[in-house]
Amino acid sequence: MDAGFLLVSPKFDVSKAVMKFLIVGLGNTGNEYAHTRHNIGFDVVNAFVMKHGGSFRTDRLAYVADVKWKGKIFVCICPTTFMNLSGKAVKYWMDKEKITLENILVVVDDIALPLHKLRLRPGGSDAGHNGLRSLQELLGTTEYPKLRFGIGNDFPKGRQSDFVLGKWKKEEEPLVKLKIEKAVEAIESFAAQGIAAAMNQVNNKDFSL
């Protein structure tokens, strides 16, 4: 076990007074998918875990990290099921950790949002996203919080898949880095202040350098 890894164990007083959150980054495993637009959920959740001194282990259906921050416990997962079966991992960890729907936050790429936007909502449809569709099928609802990371739609007709599975352009990378930091702050705000405050923090902002 990595010595830097924060694991929820009996030494933590996990009483009913402790709020527990499931933070989910959607993406695909494998080096060919690393740091692509479609894997931004992985990158945001990894940044959150690293900021708070955690590290991932390979566990059931996902890479999993347990982080404790401000008296709250965060079970952070990046499913290893591939995008189209993400719901299996989310449902398993939600049930295992006894985490309620309103305390789940799913971080996902969104081509309907421009690159300078983040959008947090307490619910909403899958909007054609295969990962969210899998969650909807397994959870039986669309009413769980989602943090959508705008990736834009600058691709020729018929090339959406290549665009989504492609790497960021060099000139996009500084803004992506900034937005990852802001997305991490949104996760913190979601847990510490509630979803309404977190929505006010990100939804009307145009992020730029």
Active site residues: 38
Residue 203's identity, in one-letter code, is N
Q: What is the DSSP string of 99-122?
A: --GGGEEEEEEETTS-TT-EEEES
How far is Cα 44 from Cα 107, in angstroms, rounded to an integer? 7
Q: Among 108, 118, 146, 123, which residue's Cα sits nearest to residue 203?
A: 118
In whole angstroms, what separates CA 58 from the centre of its chain?
17
How far is Cα 167 from Cα 142, in angstroms, rounded to an integer? 29
Helix (H, G, I), strand (E, B), or coil: what is residue 62?
strand
